[in-house]
Amino acid sequence: MSLKKDIHRLEKKILADNFWSSFKVKGELLADCISLFSRFKCQNCGLYGRAILCPPYLAQTMSQFETIDECRNYYRHNVKSAFVFVFKNDGTLPWKRDIKELSHIEFKKRYGRQLKGVENGSAKEINRQMKKIQTRLRKDGHNARSLIAGHCDVCKGHHRCPNRENPPCKKLGMTSLEATGIDVYKLLNKLGVPYEYPALHELTQTTMVVFEK
């Protein structure tokens, strides 16, 4: 079975209704999306300097992402290909496959700051889905790495990283596209994906799985 068919099979088995589309790209395209702007965005997050899979501590676990130049070299020389996953939601779509788990939520169109609640809830679930995709691909023999939207929270039963004071990560955690230097807006523009910034009527979230050489 081809890699593309493997990915589409996992999309159908794991992702929920807010999944919009996926795109296969080469490492060279991703290298062209590396920007210092992405690290500036990280500095505006409350987890900057706190989470071990976010800058500036990320390199203690993933040394290939210490500097912007090293990020660019990683994608240019170490990544064969990648699949970019785009999720879209205007508030009307469930982000879990089992809709019963979201029975307390009213799915209706949201606007502006109301979409923040959708973003927070869906990001955690999308990240869990990306962890499942990474696990399945590695079991099938692929040298795959998932990159997520936002910060890692894969450790069950913890409200914060259990290794925050004891890096590096010991649980095969995941980092974000921005933490690895990727300007997500530049990437979406290259892929021709429409998005709003700031999100007023529709939320767009982006993840990726890379296949290393």
pTM: 0.94
Cite the beta strand spans of the chain per DSSP E: 19-26, 79-89, 144-147, 203-212
The residues, any chain, with a CB within 8 Å of residue 126's CB and separated by 6 or more, are 18, 87, 95, 148, 149, 205, 207
* pLDDT for the residue 50: 81
Confidence at residue 157, expressed as pLDDT on a 0 to 100 scale: 57
Nearest to 210 by CA among 150, 138, 154, 140: 138
- The pLDDT of residue 193 is 98
Residue in the structure block whose two tokens are 């089992």: 98
One-letter amino acid of 23: F
Please tell me the distance from the alpha carbon of residue 100 to that of residue 50, in angstroms, as a whole number. Answer: 34
| Single-letter amino acid code for the residue at 134 | Q
pLDDT value of position 1: 57
Mean pLDDT, consecutive 10-residue segments, the chain of 213 residues? 88 96 98 93 83 90 96 98 98 95 94 92 93 95 94 70 80 92 97 96 98 95
Sequence-distant (≥ 6) Cβ neighbours of residue 206 within 8 angstroms: 84, 85, 86, 87, 149, 177, 184, 187, 188
Integer angstrom CA distances of residue 202 from 76, 126, 149, 183, 206: 32, 17, 16, 20, 13
Query: Which residue(s) pair with 207 in the sheet?
Result: 85
Q: What is the pLDDT of residue 156?
A: 65
Can you give the length of the chain in residues? 213
Phi first, then psi: give them for residue 144, nearest 5 degrees: -110, 145
Which residue in 136, 204, 129, 141 sits closest to 174, CA to CA? 129
pLDDT for residue 48: 83
Measure the CA dihedral 57/62/66/72, to 10°.
Answer: -140
**Rounded Cα distance, 24 and 37, in Å:** 24
Contacting residues for 185 by C-beta, under 8 A, at least 6 apart: 195, 197
Rg (CA), the chain: 17
